[in-house]
Amino acid sequence: KMRAYEIRKRALENRIATGEKLVGVKFGGALVKEISENKRYEGIFGFLTDAMEIKNSMYLSNFIYPLAEAEVVFKLARDLDREINLSEVSDFVTEVAPGIEVFDCRYGAIDAFVDDAIADNACAGAFAIGSWKNASEIDFANAEISIFENDALNQKVPASAIAGNPWAAVVNTSKKLFEAGVSLPAGSIIFSGSATNGIAMQAGKYRVEISGLGEVSFEVK
């Protein structure tokens, strides 16, 4: 795993050396390699930079096998430099937004083992963020998350599809960051991990709506 951490770290350093800025992380899961027939996943994270943000549109030709995923995005109000618990999340997160992650693996659309996924920066391809809302106004208890492809509903799931409770995604991320010796400064963003199955992207429009939170969309060319 240490080798995978090193590869991920060097990839980030290379991006920063070319002028990109670290803006946050994405949380996700990867397959644990074991003899059992049952699949087991472990939480991992990948770094996000400003160059990965989609403002209005993206080009398919810039990616390998991009998948669109519906997520919740959190903005940190203070440095996240330790593992936190659920009761502390409101002290660390003041703003929340709907998001779309473009999940893109160098090894194609397959389940990746943990070490490979870490080395590939958790398949972080690109991301889009909607308008920020005050975290104190958000109630995920009865919220639904919908993702549309060319205005046709592709999937609709309860917000609890994210870690049983989207706020728990911040807790889970803090644990993995702490294990890796990474701290995130105030103002950083955290993508929660996908609420929906990834949609193989093609030219057209992708939109995510989260009830009580808003929507985000972009064109694919």
Average pLDDT score over the chain = 95
Q: Residues 66, 221: contact at Cβ < 8 Å?
A: no
Overall pTM surpassing 0.75 (yes/no): yes
The predicted pLDDT at position 58 comes to 98
* Rg of the chain taking only CA atoms, in angstroms: 16
The predicted pLDDT at position 35 comes to 67
| Longest Cα–Cα distance in the chain | 45
How distant is the alpha carbon of residue 139 from its chain centre?
Answer: 20
Neighbours of 19 (CB within 10 A): 9
d(CA 216, CA 213): 10
Side chain identity, residue 49: T
Q: Give pLDDT tens digits for 151-209.
A: 999 999 999 999 999 999 999 999 999 999 999 999 999 999 999 999 999 999 999 99
Q: Give pLDDT tens digits for 86-112.
A: 999 999 999 999 999 999 998 765 678
Q: Give pLDDT tens digits for 148-167.
A: 999 999 999 999 999 999 99
